[in-house]
Amino acid sequence: MRKYLVCITGASGARYGIRVIQALVESGCEVHAIVSRWGERVVAEETGRAFAAWADLTGVAQERVYDAEDLSAPPASGSFRLDGAVIVPCSMNSVGAIASGVCGNLIHRVGLVCLKEKRPLVLVPRECPLSLIDLKNMATLAAAGAVISPAAPAFYYKPKTIDDLIDFVAGKILDNLGIEHGLFKRWE
Report pLDDT digits (tens) over 27-38.
999 999 999 999
Domain count, the chain: 1
182 lies in a domain? no
Sign of CA dihedral 106, 107, 113, 114: positive
What are the two backbone dihedrals, phi and then psi, of residue 30, each rounded to the nearest 5 degrees? -85, 125
Q: Could you give the CA distance from residue 38 to residue 128 in angstroms, rounded to a whole number?
A: 18
Radius of gyration over alpha carbons of the chain, in Å?
Answer: 15
d(CA 17, CA 11): 11
Q: For residue 90, which of 127, 116, 117 has the smallest C-alpha distance?
A: 127
pLDDT of residue 11: 97
CA dihedral 79, 85, 88, 93 (to 10 degrees): 50
- For 81-117, the pLDDT digits (tens) are 999 999 999 999 999 999 999 999 999 999 999 999 9
In a domain, residue 68? The reply is yes
Q: 36 in a domain, yes or no? A: yes
What was the pLDDT predicted at 130? 96
Q: Is 152 helix (H, G, I), strand (E, B) or coil?
A: coil
Residues whose CB is less than 8 angstroms from the CB of residue 158 and which lie 6 or more positions away in sequence, other chains included: none
Asked if residue 100 belongs to a domain, the reply is: yes
pLDDT at residue 187 above 90? no
Q: Is residue 121 part of a domain?
A: yes
The CATH code of the domain that includes 17 is: 3.40.50.1950
Residue 17 maps to a domain = yes
pLDDT at 151: 96
Measured at the alpha carbon of residue 72, what is the angle toward residues 121 and 57, in degrees to the nearest 5? 60
Is residue 185 in some structural domain?
A: no
| Domain range for 114 | 3-177
In a domain, 184, yes or no: no
Question: Max Cα separation, the chain?
Answer: 47
pTM score of the predicted model: 0.96
Asked if residues 68 and 34 have their Cβ atoms less than 8 Å apart, the reply is yes
